[in-house]
Structure 1
């Protein structure tokens, strides 16, 4: 297939706009935390994973653009901004952590350590390896290793929407699967998948194609169970990092 970088750029920037809107979904939760001056029962894990996931994508974009002519600028921008946004959310949790400060701080430090080890491995060890390893259309070993890591992380993160879908089936209620977020996530994955096709990037494509499948399944479940449910709750953080912002 012939590359169409211009079309890839259009879908990439569209994906950036919609994804940034999606990344604002934790704001109501954080406002609740600030207002009550307590993290209550909310978990900081999705926010810490948001920082980690976005940072991994930024690194992938940088090393891939260094080694090829691919334009991953939209991907780098959205993930760079996303990492800063989730860092702000994590900071709010740290301020109002109370007795949970140690556990939240441990979570944040673990994410930072794993990120540092990954980048250190790619920069210090991968270039010295003699055997060539290529993942998909990645142009270099650093791009391949970091790209495959991003794919694995995003596939693992799809456990959240799967658990949510299981809950919907068990409870026969869409209370914890708000339609706007499910629909927005579905659209976002379509946009990034289109970009992946036009710039021929398997790393961007794989997690977003999976996201389309999961998104479609969520919408089908919503249509099936919405009549049996009351108003959907605004539990907006249930799967934000499952959207692959790349």
Structure 2
């Protein structure tokens, strides 16, 4: 008979697969950047922010912080490698954007320093396991909720223009499925309040995006050329 721990593991594996799809989603954008040798008007912010998100969740999922959450670390480790590749490609072709390269490198240095401080504080200043999980988990949730919320910015444009042109349906759908899977994962065997909190909120945010999409889908002009979304996420955690 399959026990709760095995079910949790299976759901976690499914979550890893779906999350990988989210991390891979911007590949089309970066193939375009590579072919045109230019980042055009695409923003680097989602990818730089996701690097921070992935680093934090990799640390959270390690046994030194939270036992039985290694699947959280594995997918975010993969995501971290993918996001670093995206940012490296962006750096290679952002020459026409003034200060972009300097800003990106500055943000990356700040992120590495911030994560290093969090790791050192967790390992050497906090002795209690629950306190470690709380400290790292709350920080992870802040960044994860921000990642899930970023596509919701498009809702205001959709309502104003009565057009879903700038709200990619597939992205919202995959975000919803991803958040729902990780919410389920957090509730089985051992409740993980921090994975539950950010992904539960993420589920509601993605659902609101889908509701707005279907409310305004029919009013969207069908003769317009679809433009790149003004709001991208590149990993919304993926846990």
| TM bracket (short chain) | 0.7 to 0.9
The within-5 A match list for 1:134-213 is 139-198=129-188, 199-213=190-204
Query: Which residue number corresponds to residue 48 of structure 1?
Result: 48
**Alpha-carbon distance in 1 for matches of 2:56, 2:157:** 30
**Alpha-carbon distance in 2 for matches of 1:154, 1:15:** 15
Secondary structure at 2:175's aligned position in 1? helix
Would you say the 8 A contact 1:189–1:211 is kept in 2? Answer: yes
Count of paired positions = 234
Give per-residue Cα distances to partners, 1:133-181, cap 9 Å, x unaligned.
xxxxxx3333321111000112233442221111111111111112221
Given candidates 64, 67, 75, the residue that maps to 1:66 is 64
**Alpha-carbon distance in 2 for matches of 1:184, 1:234:** 20
Q: CA deviation at 1:122?
A: 3.7
Query: Which residue number corresponds to residue 32 of structure 1?
Result: 32
Q: Which moved more, 1:71-80 or 1:232-241?
A: 232-241
| Alignment RMSD | 2.4
The answer for unaligned runs of 5 or more in structure 1 is 133-138
Q: CA deviation at 1:237?
A: 7.5
The verdict on how the C-alpha distance between 1:217 and 1:129 changes in structure 2, with shifts beyond 3 A counting, is: closer
Q: CA deviation at 1:236?
A: 5.8
Q: TM-score, normalised by structure 2?
A: 0.88
**Alpha-carbon distance in 2 for matches of 1:118, 1:21:** 25
1:99 corresponds to 2:86: no
Q: CA deviation at 1:116?
A: 2.5
Secondary structure at 2:167's aligned position in 1? coil
**Alpha-carbon distance in 2 for matches of 1:36, 1:217:** 35
Give per-residue Cα distances to partners, 1:87-108, cap 9 Å, x unaligned.
1000111111113374234223
Query: Which residue number corresponds to residue 210 of structure 2?
Result: 219
The verdict on how the C-alpha distance between 1:221 and 1:162 changes in structure 2, with shifts beyond 3 A counting, is: same
Query: Which residue number corresponds to residue 112 of structure 2?
Result: 115
**Alpha-carbon distance in 2 for matches of 1:190, 1:159:** 15
Q: TM-score, normalised by structure 1?
A: 0.85
**Alpha-carbon distance in 1 for matches of 2:122, 2:191:** 27
The answer for unaligned runs of 5 or more in structure 2 is none
**Alpha-carbon distance in 1 for matches of 2:102, 2:5:** 42
Q: CA deviation at 1:50?
A: 1.4
